[in-house]
Structure 1
Amino acid sequence: MQKPTLRDVAQAAGVHTATASRALNPKTRSMVNANTARRVSRAAKSLGYTPNPIARSLKTARSLTIGVVLPDLTNPLFPPIVRGIEDTLTPAGYSGLIVNTDNDPQREKAQIDSLLSRQVDGLIIATARLDHPLLTELHAQGVKIVLVNRRTEHLDVSAVTPDDAAGIRTAVGHLARLGHRRILHVAGPATTSTGITRVRAFRDTVRELELDEDPALVAPCAFWSEEDGARAVRAAWSSGTEFTAVVAGNDLLALGTYDALRGRGLSCPDDVSVIGFNGMPFLDKLGPPLTTIAIPHHRIGAEAARMLLEAIDDPHRPSRSVLLPTSLVVRDSTRAPAGG
């Protein structure tokens, strides 16, 4: 049985083929009378017609695909961000191709080369480092890029991030109000904008609130991982650093802090309060449920996709950076220090 064509749909709906095409394309549907669009949609459904994205891409010189480049697919931060991306791309007739880099620059280049060979119309990238030659190269080639949850220095590229500095100020302020003065920051990688922004905000807030400014109260991590979080906390103890609370650079580092506390026979929050950052799913199921700074995951992804589609439609559109608000979610992992 021959598949129905766009012309068949147009005839069934009693409209011109071009009108049927506009009615079935989410990007041009607004150009068609609402009643006509509904009639065309009903005709397409009754005939079992589905648009041919390859044919449409040949007409528009676009592949209608977007590359989504993630540093670690196992990080629970990213699925809700990807959902926001997809929920914005799909109504516009686009689809996303997701690749994982494992935080490996060589793998990242190979994956991006693969995406570009598939003629993606742009890239949403969550792997940006402060010094990122590949991004510079892609930008020079005119590849449409939006960074998500990351920024990069000295490059005019659009980015969507949570307000990291405000989130850290809120976290430190929460602990200070509980009475904590010696707060350890388990800091994210200094090679990323997120790590740098959050550690700077931590130091600034400690100074503003007149808390202990001991340089040893910043425990650096090479990766945003549970294992590195545990290692950093153990290293702080090994150096003799004392603290009653931890502000972790992200929730995975906070989970590593939990591991280190258990390994030392300590209790959270009786011995050490812990607060994370990002608001990953299932934090309320931990023992104890983790206090965290929540970020608008879905909105971050949706905004990044929207900005990239705008850049594809208008190549001369200037880049812009968007900061989205964070919020404090208080659970059972934070309380006043013992004896305090």
Structure 2
Amino acid sequence: METIHIGILGYGEVGRIFAAGLQSVSGVGALTAWDRKLTDPASADADVLRAAAGHAGVTLGDGIVALCDQATLIISAVTASSTLEVAQQAALYIRPGSVFLDLNSASPGTKQQAAAVIEAAGAHYVEAGVMTSVPPYGIAVPMLLGGAQAEALAQTLRGWGMNVQPVAQRIGVASAVKMCRSIMIKGLEALVVESYATARHYGVEQLVLPTLAETFPQIDWSAQGAYFFSRVVQHGKRRAEEMREAARTVREAGVAPLMASAIADKQDWMATLAAQGLFADISPKAPWQDYADRLLAQFSPD
């Protein structure tokens, strides 16, 4: 690919960051973004997306059909639960020979299904395992790539300042790495929320945290707790969807996903409380105690 027209499917946090980072890169002929929320132009969500795009100077397309017809590189940055559905929609209109880069946090089996429909349409599917939070890295966030075209695409992306590493030609390897890591990271978040809030209830947090520091002295457990609480409150819904895909990954391996499923439930529980406004007036940089106290006040007996 020489001059590349990029189409970004999904204009949420990740889509916005990638759109902003790639729109002025040398070799990109044009960049268009699209999000299904734009199908209802009168909705508040659509207004937010249009305002964000206007502020960033990003062009919002006229729909998935036009985006797929124009783009030679399509980047899918939707929610985990929409991974396959969006690939199926794109396959109906994608240009043969174009590349579909799937950033979504989905199981190897889901990625393999998505790859099958894209490649049946004559395009190339490359999976990406995004290995940490996109902010503050932006488009330089570490990513693992998989697929027959992973190495060729990696050369282009590196030229744009992206941090990508091809790991396999077989679809599913990169996503397996991502999902196994997610079980640990999102699991730690869920454990911290539950452990710290319980310790706070019994008034023993000043005894519990030092014992954690003795075992893992390289971690500032108070600061890490604050970060974990804030991330779950802000992104619990997305994390819950990812963990359901992680549970699918475990199930595909023939193992009962008891822990991954419980982590998804915990993340979803916090997301529901956040959506109800329980933490609305708590700063993302607040200490973990503020979040724990709000939880305890909500559920403690009168």
- Is the TM-score greater than 0.5? no
Q: TM-score, normalised by structure 1?
A: 0.29
**Structure having the larger proportion of residues in helix:** 2
Q: Which has the larger radius of gyration?
A: 1
Q: TM-score, normalised by structure 2?
A: 0.32
